[in-house]
Each structure stands twice: as C-alpha cells, then as structure tokens.
Amino acid sequence: MVYKIMWEWLKKHAALLVTILVSVGLLFYLVGCEPKTISLKQGNKLINRQELQLELDQIMGTAQLRMADLDRQDQLRAIILQNALILVQGQPYNPVGLITAAAAVYGLTQGGKNISKTVVAKRKKGKTNNA
C-alpha cells in the first residue's frame, strides 16, 4: 500500500525529480571539474590554466635569455667585422681601437652573465612564491 502511494507520487512528480537530479549533477560538474589541457613541457600531463601560465612564463623567460645571448654574439661579431674592415682598408693598425673592442666584448659578456644570473634568481624566487 505504501509502495503504491509512493509509486503514484513518483509518477506524478517525475519531470520535477529528473530536473532536480540533472541540475544537481550539472552543478557538481561545473563546480568540481576545472578545465585542463595538455602540458607544454610534458605531453602526457594535464594542467589547469594557472599551471599553463607558469609554464608559458618559464618558456618566455628562457627565450628572452637566449635572445640576449644572440644579441651579445651579434654585437661581438659586428665589432670583429668592423676591426677587420679597418685593417683591410689599409688604415694603420690601431691598438687603442683593439683595446677598446676587447673591453667592449668583456663588458658585454659580463653584462650578459649578470642579466642571466638576475633572471635565473628571479625565476627561482617566483617558483618558491608560487609553489
């Protein structure tokens, strides 16, 4: 008898019950399951938006370091070519110019090393703060 009354009540309110169950399930899905994507560094790992941003920042930092290294190499090449052109043009050898070029190369390499150390230190500091 109780089952019959309950069955009748369920039949009468079936649409409402299904709506409530679907709404509750959708609510759990939307709140509990954050979107994830494949990592840039590790292809088999899924990461969320914040982790993806951290990986992207690390990649951009590495790219900036490498671009600075390429710039430093280009400047060194330009200095060497300028001195070679001066010698080829038949102008007298200029030891002061050579010393200046050597000092410029030394300054560029030291500046590049200092920049690299600073960027690496900041990146490590950022990792410790975000972890």
Residue 97: name the closest of 84, 110, 112, 88 by CA. Answer: 84
pTM over 0.75: no
Which pLDDT belongs to residue 51? 92
Whether the Cβ atoms of residue 104 and residue 79 lie closer than 8 Å to each other: yes
Q: How far apart are CA 15 and CA 29, in angstroms?
A: 21
Residues of the chain with pLDDT under 70: 87, 90-94, 127-131
Q: How far apart are CA 36 and CA 33, in angstroms?
A: 9
